[in-house]
Amino acid sequence: IVIFRRQYAQDMGFVIPSIRLHDGAALGTNQYIIRIRGEEVARGEVLVDYYLALEPPNPSGQIDGIEAIEPAYGIPSRWILPENKEMAEIYGYTVITPLTVMLTHLSETIKKHSYELLGRTEVMQLVEHLKKTDPDLVADAIPNVVTYANLEKILRNLLKEGIPIRDLGLILEAIVDAGPGRDIDAITEQVRARLSRTITRRFCENGQLRVVTLDADVETKILAALTKNDHGVYLALSPDIMQQIIAQLGELRKKFNELSQTPILLTSQVIRVYVSRMVSQFYPDMYVLSFNEITSNVQIQAIGNVSLGAQPKQA
């Protein structure tokens, strides 16, 4: 856990609060619960004297064991006896220990909920740290351009979508350039564009980025469905169109699973945040990026395209 916290701080630029372990008398022998701020967010079960064998797409043989689902990624698995470990590996299964199962589940749960762990105190600590190296920028930005409350919202927006907040100086520069009076979503999008190198490095593999895209017609319909009220802008897409988009993304998402890659949807900047909110309700593991968040030296490969009134086009 200590190693994970240190690694997460290096990757994301934010030290998550300490993790406490304690016995739960109400739990079954093999069960565990993960709580954030006292509320349960995940639970799982491990068989201590067994190994968990994660099923490959096409195993070359079947192995005896107790059927289970790996909790962090939802992979069909089997709890197997130690003497079957070697045979399972020969058949193509990935075999992991119960401790690894639990720690992977814990780390993925924390990554998913990390934005909830960033509070005012943590934001102030990050700013105090930046003051040592760039006091003028901090004096320029806070509170004249952005308050601590709004900075917290922007940083949470970034963490929620898996974007590191390591370079707080660059983030504050982007906020200052955006100017006061803009809404939080618009400022966040400008910050993301400035963090294009970070975002590219986070999602790109070997100079290549595999993505699915939206047809021009789909983008136009989404843009036309943006509606403004007292609370800001929201997406008022018809259920029929939304269902078509989500169904096609579900099919195309399988291709990313086959390639063992993070599912990425690439859109134009103006609709990115609204599409991201819509998609996250159905596929929390799919990231929505915009074209101006990807650096020019990357080769973008579209492996599918979402269109209306048709099956998903596969590349």
CA dist 140 → 9, 189, 291 (Å): 26, 21, 30
Q: What is the pTM of this model?
A: 0.86
Selection from 238, 255, 234 nearest residue 308 by Cα: 238
Tens-digit pLDDT string for the chain (315 aa): 889 899 999 999 988 888 899 888 888 889 999 999 889 999 999 999 999 999 988 888 889 999 999 999 888 999 999 999 999 999 999 999 999 999 999 999 998 999 999 999 999 999 999 999 999 999 999 988 999 999 999 999 999 999 999 999 999 999 999 887 678 989 999 999 999 999 999 888 888 899 999 999 999 999 898 888 777 788 888 889 999 999 999 999 888 877 878 899 999 999 999 999 999 999 988 999 999 999 989 999 999 999 987 554 555
Question: Given this model, what pLDDT does residue 310 score?
Answer: 55
Question: Given this model, what pLDDT does residue 26 score?
Answer: 86
Query: DSSP label at 37?
Result: T
Question: Given this model, what pLDDT does residue 314 score?
Answer: 56
Question: Given this model, what pLDDT does residue 104 score?
Answer: 93
Question: Given this model, what pLDDT does residue 228 score?
Answer: 84
Whether residue 105 contacts residue 68, with contact meaning beta carbons closer than 8 Å, is answered with no
**Distance from C-alpha of 14 to C-alpha of 125, rounded to nearest angstrom:** 10
**Distance from C-alpha of 218 to C-alpha of 267, rounded to nearest angstrom:** 10
**Distance from C-alpha of 123 to C-alpha of 129, rounded to nearest angstrom:** 10
**Distance from C-alpha of 278 to C-alpha of 294, rounded to nearest angstrom:** 21
Question: Given this model, what pLDDT does residue 25 score?
Answer: 84
**Distance from C-alpha of 194 to C-alpha of 199, rounded to nearest angstrom:** 9
Whether residue 176 contacts residue 140, with contact meaning beta carbons closer than 8 Å, is answered with yes
Give the pair of three-digit tokens for residue 188: 């966040």
Q: Which residues contact 62 (CB under 8 A, 6 or more apart)?
A: 91
